[in-house]
Amino acid sequence: MTEQGLDAAGTLAEPLRRRLYQYVVARGGDVSRADAANAVGERRNLVAFHLDKLVEAGLLDVTRRKVSGREGPGSGRPAKLYRRADSQLNVQLPPRDYETAARVFADAVEQAGADNSLYAAAHNEGARQASTMPAEDRPADLGDLVALLERHGYEPAREDPAAGGPIRLRNCPFHTLAREFPTLTCGMNLELLRGLLSGFEGFCARMEPSPDQCCVAISKNNKD
C-alpha cells in the first residue's frame, strides 16, 4: 500500500474528477481541455483545474503539442493534452501483495513447464465465474458483454460495431505480470476469457496480439 495510492483514491472521490478520469481513459489517447469540458458539460477553467489535480495525483500524464500544426512565432502556445498515466497504483486495505505472489507462481509454472496446467486452471476459473453469475448479468449480445468485461477491468471497445466488429480490450488486468511472463500470462488470460464465454451462448475469444492492446479479441460466434 502506498501513500500515492491512497492520495489517488482520494482524488477520485470528487465526482467530476472521476467522470473526467473515466472520459480520458475511455478515449484511449490524448485529450484536450476543450474536449474534456465538452464531454462533461462543465466550464473549461473548472475542468482544467480538475484535470491538473488528476495529474498531481499521478493518475494522468500531460503532453504539450501544437494542435494547429503550425510552427514558429505566432503559431500559438502548445496545447496541454491529457492521457492515462502509465504507472500503476494499488490500493488495498489492509495491505496485500498479490503481485509478488503472482510473479512467484508464474516463475514456478515456467520452471516446471506446466503451461498447460495453468491454461486448464484458467479455463476452469472462467467457467466457474460464468456459472455463478446471476441470470440478469449473463450477456445476450456483444453490448452486454462489453458491460460485463468492464466490470472485470478490461476496458473493452467495439471495433466497427455497425458491422458487428469484434471487441478489443484496451486494458490488460494482468499488465505487470504480462510484461515479465508474456507467454504464460497472455495464454492464461485467453483461457480465462474462453472459460467465461463457454458459460454463455454465441461468443468466441481468439488471440490477436498487437502492441498497446490486450492480446485477445472477442466476436459473435459464426454458428449463431
Interface contacts to other proteins, rule CB under 8 A: 111-113, 115-116, 180, 182-183, 186-187, 190, 207, 209-211, 215
Name residues whose C-beta falls within 8 Å of residue 101's C-beta, 6 or more positions apart in sequence: none
- 223 close to 216: Cβ distance less than 8 angstroms: no
User: How far, in Å, CA of 183 to CA of 177, rounded?
Assistant: 10
Nearer to other proteins, 149 or 190 (CB): 190
Nearer to other proteins, 166 or 187 (CB): 187
Nearer to other proteins, 57 or 178 (CB): 178
How near is the Cβ of 122 to other proteins at its closest, in Å? 12
Nearer to other proteins, 78 or 182 (CB): 182
How near is the Cβ of 206 to other proteins at its closest, in Å? 9
How near is the Cβ of 86 to other proteins at its closest, in Å? 14
Map grid coordinates 449480445 to a residue.
Answer: 141
Residue 210: count of CB within 10 angstroms of its CB: 9
Cα first-last separation, the chain: 46
How near is the Cβ of 33 to other proteins at its closest, in Å? 31
Residue 71: count of CB within 10 angstroms of its CB: 8
